Structure 1
C-alpha cells in the first residue's frame, strides 16, 4: 500500500498538468502523481466514479445520514478529484438527501461544473445549490418532462423505453467541452455508469467505520457466478484517515461515438441498455 503525502508543490504540479501547462511523466513513482496524474492528464473523455463508504460497504444510515462517513483525508481526496475534472455528476436523490455544494473547499483549485440528472424535472429551483453562488449548474432532463424555469442550463434528452442513455449524457457534456467527468453519486447513478461500461477509473474510499445497515455504495444487477464479476486491476493507497482502491475498469479511455468519423447507429441491443437515471 502506497501512502499519499500531498504537499503544495505536488498539488501545484497536478493543477499545471490539468491546465496542460506541464506533461505527466511517463513513469510517475510519486504516489500522488500515480493516483491523480491520469485524471489531470486525461485528453478526450475520461470518467471517474468515486464512492466513499464504511468498512461494511454502506454509504449512509437507513435514515439517510451520510455525513462524516469519510474521514478528513477522504474528504480532501474527493475535493482533489473535483478540482481535476471539468464536471461532476450527481443524481436527484443526492440533491434531496444531502443538499451538496459540490465545490472545492478542502483544497485549492477550480470548482467543477455541477451536473444534476433530474429525469422527470422533480427539482423546483428552490434547492440550495441553485442559490449558493457556486459553479455553473446543468440539469439533465427527459424531453418528456415538464418544462420549468431554472437558474441553470437545461439539457433535454430523449427518453427511451427504459429511460435516459448515460452515453448520450456524456456526449451532451462533451458538446460543451466537458470531457473529464466525476460521477459522484448517488449509488444508483454510479452503478448505472459502471454497468454500462462508461467508467475508466473507480475510486472506492473506505473509512474505518461500521454502520451495520443502510444503502450500499454500489449495487449492480445480480450475477449468478463470480466468473461474471468485475475484476479490475487496482492500486491501493493510504490517504491517512481512509484507504483508497483505485480500480481501472478500462485501461485505455475510448472516444465516444460522436467523436468517431461516423456515428454508430443505435442497435436493438444498445437501445435495451437505456436506463432511467435520476
Structure 2
C-alpha cells in the first residue's frame, strides 16, 4: 500500500491496513444524518461551516478543518468505520474543479460480471447499502451505455435516507432505449449525455429536457473527453460525481486521470472468464504500476478498498 499524503481517515489512531469490523446500527443512525448535512453544506456553501451535533448526544458531532470534515467526541469504532470512506466525499470542492469517485463491485479475480453479463447478487446487502450512501452524498451518479443497457439500473437511494442524485447516462452512440427506467420512472432528474451533433436524435428518444448535448465531447478517435464532460456537469451545479460503472467507463476515467478516488467492493467469489473490472494499458515494470494509498473496510462478507488516486 502507498504511504504518505494528507490523512483523510476518520480515526487517526486506526491502522489503515486493518480490516475493520461490521458497522453497528446505532452508530450509523446517529452519524448518517450528519454526513448528509455536510454534503448539503458542500452543495450550498454560505458563510462559516456549521458545527454539526448528533441528535442523541450533543457531545458527539462533526466539524470542518481546512476543508475536510472530522468527527469529534467519543464516537464508537463503528462510527469511524462508517465515516472513513465517506468523509472525503463531503469535503469542499475547489471552485472550477470536480470530485470524481469511481465504484466497482467485483469478484476476487477482478470480474464485474459473468461472460454473459450477469452481475446479479455479486455483492452483499452491506455493500449495496454503501453504494446507496455514495449516491446520496454525490451530486450525480453516472453510468455508461453497457451498464445502462445490461442492468437497467434505477440509480436511486432507496436503501438509505437522503436525496437521489441526478442520474447521468453517458451514451455517445445513442444505444440506450428511451423506455429505460431512468428516463421514464420520474424518481430523480436524469440526463442523457451525448455529443452536441446528436442533440436532435437524443431529444426524440428521451425528450429535450433530459438531454445534455456537449460540444467536443468525443475526440477524433471516438473516445469521450472526460474533462469536457465534467465541465458540462459543473455548469449544471454537479461537482461531485459518482462513476458507478461499468468496468469500461471507470477504466477510461482512470486512464484519463480524472478519478480522485476508487471504491472497489470485492466479494469472495471466483468467476473465471467474465467481464473484467479495471483495465489499463499494459506496463512493463512493476515500478510503473499505480500504487494508490489504500484503506480496507469490512462490509459484511465483502471488503471495500478505498483507493486515494491523488496519493500514489
**TM-score, normalization by structure 2:** 0.76
Q: Deviations over 1:69-95 (max 9, x none)?
A: 011111001000000000011101111
Q: Which moved more, 1:126-135 or 1:141-150?
A: 141-150
- Deviation for aligned residue 1:4: 5.2
Runs of 4+ in 1 over 3 A off after TM superposition: 21-29
Asked if the contact 1:24–1:37 (Cα under 8 Å) also holds between the matched residues in 2, the reply is: no
Structure 2's unaligned 5+ residue stretches are 1-18, 42-49, 53-62, 72-76
Deviation at 1:24, TM superposition (A): 4.2
1:160 to 214, 219, 243: 219
RMSD: 1.9
Q: Which is richer in strand?
A: 2
How far the C-alpha of 1:27 sits from its partner, in A, is 4.8
- Superposed CA offset, 1:7-26 (max 9, x none): 21111111111112543466
Higher RCO, 1 vs 2 (CA within 8 Å, ≥6 residues apart): 1
Alignment map for 1:206-225 (pairs within 5 Å): 206-225=266-285
Task: Specify which of 51, 54, 59 is matched with residue 112 of structure 2.
Answer: 59
Are 1:172 and 2:232 counterparts? Answer: yes
Q: Distance in 1 between matches of 2:28 and 2:175?
A: 42
Greater CA drift, 219-228 or 99-108: 219-228
Alignment partners' CA distance in 2, 1:218 and 1:88: 18
Does residue 96 (structure 1) correspond to residue 156 (structure 2)? The answer is no
Query: Quick one: distance in 1 between partners of 2:149 and 2:178?
Result: 12
Rg (Cα) greater in structure:
2
Alignment pair present for 1:10 and 2:10: no
Query: Does the aligned pair in 1 maintain the 2:214–2:232 contact within 8 Å?
Result: no
Are 1:41 and 2:100 matched, yes or no? no
Aligned residues: 252
Q: Distance in 1 between matches of 2:85 and 2:104?
A: 15
Aligned pair 1:68/2:121, yes or no? yes
